[in-house]
């Protein structure tokens, strides 16, 4: 079948409204999950899920071929753009990091072709506000997608937080990621909640209690981010009858998120008299709600956005700027 995916200039075809006129495959390939989309005119036409890159071993290419074979059989050869941990040290091929500042144009110019027709979006690297090296992989595509879906965020200065296992706080100015800071908040909670004396084993899967979370967040915010000497109070309060053991996880979660928020706000101070007035929270609604609650303790307003569509929008934005 004839391959009609490129123009004479080697660029994907787009119409006058910015819509792609040819099909391509977009892939969000993380550690634990793979989501592949047949994308093009009118948006997503099909989707297939698969295992994460951690379990693909050295057979990422074979797995990709197997999952996309029906699409290729129907439409012919299709360009593939992948993002996420597929480009990490445990992935298909380790893709070099792109130094900040960087936006969609820079990412589109720095794709790594792992084989003809298959390219991977690079991660981002920076010197973070603490003066240390920092990296992200996968979140850069989510950030670019966020800017594509919300054009108002492409103007001015915005502090964007993507809560998760490794929360990312990114400073975006006029549509470009200038710098970012990673917080180990999600992983720290998982480790302490699941394997320490702070939360009794019978209560490690208890749902979050809003009042107890806020109590912990108040303590975390008051710490300014220095919680090493406050973590143990999660147990001490139980021993002194000040905290129901069934609510220990909620208190610990508040303590950690409160500290994360307090330190992040201090790390991104005003620049030339300007400050990001509202923190943009992107992610799963329940988690962004907890971060919004902690930010409110600092009188910092927030805007919550669901991150579900951001990766796909980011891949589309990068594809639009890619010579193929």
Q: For the whole model, what pTM was predicted?
A: 0.89
* pLDDT, tens digit, 9 for 90 and up, residues 113-159: 999 999 999 999 999 999 999 999 999 999 999 999 999 999 999 99
d(C-alpha 50, C-alpha 107), whole Å: 25
Residue 39 parent element (H or E)? strand 33-40
May I ask the CATH architecture of the domain 122-313?
2-Layer Sandwich (3.30)
Q: What is the pLDDT of residues 15-67, one digit of tens each?
A: 434 455 689 999 999 999 999 999 988 889 999 999 999 998 789 999 999 99
- Tokens found for residue 16: 């006058």
The crossing angle, in degrees rounded to 10, of helices 285-296 and 210-222 is: 50
Question: How many other β-carbons are positioned within 10 Å of the β-carbon of residue 18?
Answer: 10
> What's the CATH code, domain 1-94?
3.30.420.300
Q: Answer yes or no: are the C-beta atoms of 19 and 9 closer than 8 Å.
A: no
User: Is-same-fold flag (1-94; 122-313)?
Assistant: yes
Compare 317 and 4 and report the one with higher pLDDT: 317
Q: Residue 91, Cβ neighbours under 10 Å: how many?
A: 23
Residue in 118, 164, 166, 124 with CA at minimum distance from that of residue 141: 124
Residue 271: pLDDT band (50, 70, 90) is: low
Structure-block tokens of residue 239: 């021993």
Q: Please report, for the chain, the start and end positions of each structural domain, with discontinuous segments joined by +.
A: 1-94, 122-313
């Amino acid at each position: 079948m004839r391959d009609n995916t490129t123009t004479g200039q080697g660029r994907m075809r787009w119409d006058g409204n910015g819509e792609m006129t040819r099909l391509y495959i977009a892939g969000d390939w993380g550690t634990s999950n793979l989501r592949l989309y047949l994308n093009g005119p009118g948006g997503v036409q099909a989707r297939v899920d698969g295992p994460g890159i951690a379990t693909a071993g050295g057979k990422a290419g074979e797995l990709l071929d197997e999952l996309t074979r029906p699409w290729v059989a129907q439409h012919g050869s299709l360009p593939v753009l992948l993002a996420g941990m597929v480009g990490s040290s445990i992935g298909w091929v380790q893709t070099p990091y792109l130094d900040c500042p960087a936006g969609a144009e820079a990412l589109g110019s720095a794709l790594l072709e792992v084989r003809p027709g298959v390219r991977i979006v690079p991660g981002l690297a920076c010197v973070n506000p603490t003066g240390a090296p920092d990296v992200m992989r996968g979140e850069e595509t989510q950030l670019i997608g966020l800017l594509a879906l919300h054009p108002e965020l492409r103007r001015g200065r915005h502090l964007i937080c993507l809560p998760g296992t490794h929360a990312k706080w990114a400073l975006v100015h006029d549509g470009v990621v200038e710098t970012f800071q990673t917080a180990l908040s999600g992983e720290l909670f998982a480790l302490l909640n699941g394997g320490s004396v702070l939360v009794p084993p019978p209560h490690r899967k208890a749902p979050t209690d809003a009042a107890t979370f806020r109590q912990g967040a108040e303590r975390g915010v008051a710490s300014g981010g220095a919680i090493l000497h406050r973590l143990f109070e999660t147990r001490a309060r139980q021993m002194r009858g000040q905290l129901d053991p069934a609510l220990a996880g909620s208190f610990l979660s508040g303590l950690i998120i409160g500290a994360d928020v307090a330190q992040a706000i201090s790390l991104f101070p005003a620049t030339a008299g300007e400050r990001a007035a509202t923190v943009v929270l992107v992610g799963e609604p329940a988690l962004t709600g907890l971060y919004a609650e902690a930010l409110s303790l600092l009188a910092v307003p927030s805007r919550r956005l669901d991150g579900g569509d951001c990766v796909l929008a980011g891949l589309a934005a990068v594809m639009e700027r890619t010579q193929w």
